Structure 1
């Protein structure tokens, strides 16, 4: 056992006698309990160093989880599933034959089995320490290299779940049901002016449940120039290191054979970000490249094309990128591969607009842009992106689970 006595933390504690450390103290008479009546909740154990985990044993109290995931992470932010339970009945769950690597292990409860909270007498983790990826290495993929990502932009209106027409809770529920490797946001995460109080009151209660596993970018409603009293500072404060993992409001990360680039379209006119992007793409060693930011170069929606994005597209095109994701216009739109000049090209970039994350929909603009393959104006939903080592496929999934559009399967350049 490599978990006994290790530091532990949790999403919440029922009281000061039922804290996370009680679940790793080796005493089956003590326990951790979360606050009552709220999903999701989690308990995290710091194994002290990167480790190989082969077995996890959970001893549930009467307040058990009907649905939960056992997850592992190298850095405490990007999580990979080791085991998934969809119909738990409490008692003892003993997961054997696992092959996870990382420093942090988390039990992530998604559905309570009772009206109370989640409660564990013990979390026992077995394996060997001193192995696995380093804290800045990408998460371990399945043998096939395949993984799924969920994304959306233009998300949280200032409304609560019980309000008529409030959609961001529905898109969050759909995103969670897909159960991706991680989430990304496409800007304008919180309306109207993205103040910290609004993030806490609205976004945090829907998409905020994924914050520790979300790679966000800001939108124009999180602008740094205080236009219409908007608040970039609150965006950075709410997301913390998730917003600036490399010290700036643009960053990159790798997963499998993919290199992901997250950009700040509020600052495309600043040389610092452009110089960084050029260097980042030059240093990339992955076969496939996806980039995302808020304002799209091409759009058939109300805002239309945003030319400030063209220099970015040019750099991505020159480096052989495959995929660009955007928000800003509040609809769904998928483009066939094209060049910076809107010329159809099988070796061009696929652009997808996923601006139907919860805020009111805009409807059609005046012009359908060239190479626009699919447009959906009247449905809220999320992007489901399935990646492999050699390509990708996208779907637009409505809040009711209906797949409203599926792209061809594209190969990486």
Structure 2
């Protein structure tokens, strides 16, 4: 509408017209909810939830604004989640155990109204994602160390560790020989800590033979080696278990995880049947009859290059208990085996799948001249890590190469 005003006097008159008003509506009706807002998707950490505004009556057009709120498990005592004002929301670790609601504010010319959805189920934690690798950081006296930048084929600890930083891993499993030549504290400080130390807080290591190397001088002529992996345990602290043992276990999601210690060919701490370590393994397996079990240590039982029978007893106990995955390093390459029994017999129903992941960055070695039974994948030229996603009754694996290199090996397996 416009209004025209005419003014007049003895001389004459003139008319001026106002600007137009907005479109006249007939008794503008504010928004009123007809169908309540809702949340679509799975309430799990890392999974996208989508807010549906529901249905509203009232004068059109109606616009919608969103605010996600974190509530207790019953959907009460809700508080705004800072910045969560889009139609979608991805739950984080802070949301685990809480219900989530989306509150929708509908607005039009007649006013506004706000209504929340019913709460989601309590948010569950995401399936754990872990990274594993061994044979990692060069000694700072190594001629290829190059201030930590390495060469084209040696000392790539920086580049493999870059794969983990901000990678949203739940745990990192260092598989032994993390720091060459004999893991002195000074080398940890100069080589491992600036690179792989960036994920130290989530690392659960297994020691290798170089951690237990104690003969001086070391490979580079320095008298820095100490007995019983002293500086390894000093660096990792309680995350490495009891320093008189080096073997321990923990749970990760629904999986039971076992760390064993092959020292230097099991010469410092025995791995033999009947040894304290092997008896502990039996007892730990009996006490944790999980649907899915993963074990890791340094020296592999099976390898196309350097197999070791020292861990025979470990394999027999794990196989008898229905374990699923074994991770090793020591051999500086990558190799994946089909599920097999302790005698290298193919066993797709109850066998254990072994991965050798010695690609942490120190160097490479060949895959051997004779391919071992049940070996399914091998690579001896690419540095990288093994990524495992641990589901409730299965697992996914993926070899992740360092930036600029290429190698693909990925797949899935089921627990026994």
TM bucket, shorter chain = 0.5 to 0.7
Cα distance in 1 for partners of 2:137, 2:150 equals: 13
Q: Specify the SS of the correspondent of 1:164.
A: coil
Alignment-derived partner of residue 63 in structure 2: none
1:393 to 382, 392, 396: 396
Query: Which digits, 9 at most, give the CA deviation of each residue in 1:256-283, with x for residues without a partner?
Result: 2100001111224361111111100010
How many angstroms does 1:212 deviate by? Answer: 1.2
Q: CA deviation at 1:293?
A: 0.3
SS at match of 1:220: coil
The counterpart of 1:369, out of the listed 351, 368, 372, is 372
Query: TM-score, normalized by length of structure 2?
Result: 0.64
Are 2:132 and 2:386, in contact at CA under 8 Å, matched by a contact in 1? yes
Inter-CA distance 210–55: structure 2 relative to 1 (3 Å threshold): farther
Q: Which of residues 318, 342, 345 is equivalent to 1:343? A: 345
Structure 1 residues 142 and 334, CA gap change in structure 2 (3 angstroms): farther
> C-alpha distance in 1, partners of 2:373/2:78?
51
CA contact (8 A) 1:268 1:309 kept: no
Deviation at 1:404, TM superposition (A): 2.6
Equivalent of 2:96, from 99, 111, 129?
A: 99
1:225, distance to aligned residue in structure 2 (A): 5.8
- TM-score for the superposition, normalised by structure 1: 0.64
1:260 alignment partner in structure 2: 257
Aligned to 2:335: 333
Question: Equivalent residue of 2:293, what SS?
Answer: strand
Cα 1:55/1:197, change in 2 over 3 Å: farther
User: Which residue number in structure 2 is paired with residue 222 of structure 1?
Assistant: 211
Question: 1:208 maps to what in 2?
Answer: 197
How far apart, in 1, do the equivalents of 2:369 and 2:150 lie? 32
SS in 2 for 1:198: helix
How many Å separate the matches in 2 of 1:277 and 1:179? 30
C-alpha displacement of 1:364 = 2.4
Gaps of at least 5 residues in structure 1 are 1-51, 59-79, 84-97, 102-140
Q: Give the aligned partner of residue 296 of structure 2.
A: 292
Residue 192 (str. 1) matches residue 194 (str. 2): no
> 3-state DSSP class of the match of 2:179?
coil
1:14-413 matches, within 5 Å, as: 82=93, 98-99=95-96, 143=124, 146-158=127-139, 159=145, 160-165=147-152, 166-223=155-212, 226=215, 230-231=225-226, 232-244=229-241, 248-266=245-263, 267-269=269-271, 271-301=275-305, 304-346=306-348, 347-400=350-403, 404-413=407-416
Asked if 1 retains the 8 angstrom alpha-carbon contact of 2:182 and 2:214, the reply is no
Equivalent pairs, count: 286
2-structure distance, mates of 1:257, 1:241:
23
Contact kept in structure 2, 1:250 and 1:264, CA below 8 Å: yes
Counterpart contact for 1:299–1:305, Cα < 8 Å: yes
Cα distance in 2 for residues equivalent to 1:217 and 1:343:
27
Runs (4+) of structure 1 moved beyond 2 Å? 52-58, 80-83, 98-101, 141-145, 158-166, 175-179, 224-231, 245-248, 267-270, 401-408
Per-residue CA shift, 1:43-100, capped at 9, x if unaligned?
A: xxxxxxxxx9977879xxxxxxxxxxxxxxxxxxxxx9637xxxxxxxxxxxxxx336
Q: Distance in 2 between matches of 1:381 and 1:305?
A: 21
